[in-house]
């Protein structure tokens, strides 16, 4: 009979040992649980749940590539230098990107506010929507050979029919905001070639009513026409790059993927067949790596490869090789073995047809 609690008696040491053995001995029917993440791999998740919305768009665009898709256009300088990927914040008033002998400078603008009754700061354009809006405006201007563009009678129509987004309030506000930023900003595009330098300074979209009110039915209206600045329009006619509208829509989730696609569309067909071009990861980081520090270039390579894979799933004719790091090799110096690892190279670009080979009007 065990001694009563509080009696001052002690439990024998042999009892302590037995209790310790029971506590440390696993039970026969005790289950060892495996974390769910180790069981459900990405491939199994896709098999169970189906492709994600992004994967569905990419698959649909790739499977329905019949060569009869509509065409959008991007200015060649925006195929080499780019808007910010994310909102740089209201304090950033000047955005600058360089690539080789091309230099882009975008200055955030100011505009009159109807309720504050004063001129206020407008931020820089950024993200996928700014890129897609500009490509649509470029297309309409080129097709009609006019800087004045009919955009439809409401913002909802523009968002749904042209950009392919759902017309719920958040998308409407986002598209309206990006067009406002495009309209208020001014750009300087610089080209240097063969000892000559050309600078184009202008706005992209001419001024219009940035603060359009809502009517009784709460539908956001804006003017039925928008005009590109004449300087930008004239330069666009000479330097437009055609791209596949269905591909652009499928990549609308990623500003980086859109930029990689436009870059390849502008560059691959200009490479000579006899001389492929190598592009180092350092150069790719300088061109596309906004937001990635040099210390985190591994993160940039990972995200760039993801975007490139999505682009090549659509742009079938593109011939691009990703030169992975090679295994360490053993070399001998003065009879002593030395292991050396070759640095990660980058991409090798080969001559490829552009994504659009038939231009509008041909």
pLDDT digits (tens, 9 = 90+) for 69-84: 589 999 999 999 999 9
Residue 13: CA count within 13 A, CB half-sphere: 0
Please give the average per-residue pLDDT across 91-95, as a whole number. Answer: 95
Rounded to whole angstroms, the Cα distance separating 130 from 255 reads 9
pLDDT value at residue 250: 92
- Give the chain's mean pLDDT: 79
Q: Where are the domains of the chain?
A: 43-349
Please give the average per-residue pLDDT across 12-25, as a whole number. Answer: 54
Nearest Cα residue to 187 out of 238, 151, 134: 134
**Which tokens hold the place of 117?**
């009754």
Nearest Cα residue to 85 out of 256, 252, 307, 311: 256
Handedness of CA 295, 298, 303, 309 (dihedral sign): positive
Rounded to whole angstroms, the Cα distance separating 252 from 316 reads 18
pLDDT value at residue 95: 96
Contact 123, 87 (CB under 8 A): yes
Please give the average per-residue pLDDT across 86-96, as a whole number. Answer: 94
Please give the average per-residue pLDDT across 21-43, as a whole number. Answer: 54
Please give the average per-residue pLDDT across 224-238, as a whole number. Answer: 88
Scored b (16 or more CB within 10 A) or e, 74-99 reads bbbbbbbbbbbbeebeeeebebebeb
What is the C-alpha radius of gyration for the chain, rounded to an integer number of angstroms? 29
pLDDT value at residue 124: 96
pLDDT value at residue 68: 46
| 347 compared with 183, residue with greater pLDDT | 347
**Torsions phi, psi for 236 (to 5 deg):** -65, -40
pLDDT in tens, 259-286: 999 999 999 999 999 999 999 999 999 9
Counting residues of the chain whose pLDDT is more than 90, the rounded percentage is 42
């Amino acid at each position: 009979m065990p001694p009563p609690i509080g009696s001052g008696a002690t439990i024998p040491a042999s009892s302590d040992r037995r209790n310790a053995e029971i506590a440390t001995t696993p039970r026969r029917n005790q289950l060892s649980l495996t974390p769910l993440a180790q069981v459900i791999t990405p491939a199994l998740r896709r098999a169970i749940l189906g492709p994600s919305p992004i994967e569905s768009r990419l698959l649909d665009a790739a499977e329905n590539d019949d060569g009869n898709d509509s065409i959008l256009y991007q200015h060649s300088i925006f195929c080499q230098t780019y808007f910010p990927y994310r909102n740089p914040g209201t304090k950033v008033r000047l955005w600058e990107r360089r690539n080789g002998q091309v230099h882009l400078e975008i200055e955030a603008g100011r505009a009159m506010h109807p309720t504050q009754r004063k001129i206020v700061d407008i931020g820089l354009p950024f993200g996928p929507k700014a890129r897609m809006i500009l490509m649509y405006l470029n297309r309409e201007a080129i097709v009609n050979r006019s800087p004045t563009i009919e955009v439809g009678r409401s913002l909802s129509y523009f968002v749904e029919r042209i950009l392919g987004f759902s017309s719920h309030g958040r998308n409407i506000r986002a598209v309206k905001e990006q067009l406002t930023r495009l309209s208020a900003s001014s750009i300087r595009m610089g080209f240097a070639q063969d000892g000559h330098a050309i600078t184009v300074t202008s706005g992209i979209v001419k001024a219009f009513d940035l603060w359009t009110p809502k009517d009784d039915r709460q539908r956001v209206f804006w003017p039925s026409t928008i005009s590109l600045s004449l300087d930008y329009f004239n330069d666009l006619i000479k330097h437009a790059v055609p791209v596949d509208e269905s591909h652009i829509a499928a990549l609308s989730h990623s500003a980086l993927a859109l930029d990689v696609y436009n870059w390849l569309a502008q560059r691959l067909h200009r490479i000579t067949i006899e001389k492929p071009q190598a592009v180092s990861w350092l150069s790719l980081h300088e061109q596309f790596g906004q937001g990635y520090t040099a210390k985190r270039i591994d993160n940039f390579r990972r995200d760039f490869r993801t975007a490139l894979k999505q682009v090549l799933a659509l742009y079938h004719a593109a011939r691009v090789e990703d030169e992975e790091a090679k295994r360490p090799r053993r070399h001998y110096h003065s009879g002593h073995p030395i292991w050396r690892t070759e640095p990660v190279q980058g991409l090798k670009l080969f001559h490829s047809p552009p994504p659009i080979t038939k231009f509008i009007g041909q």
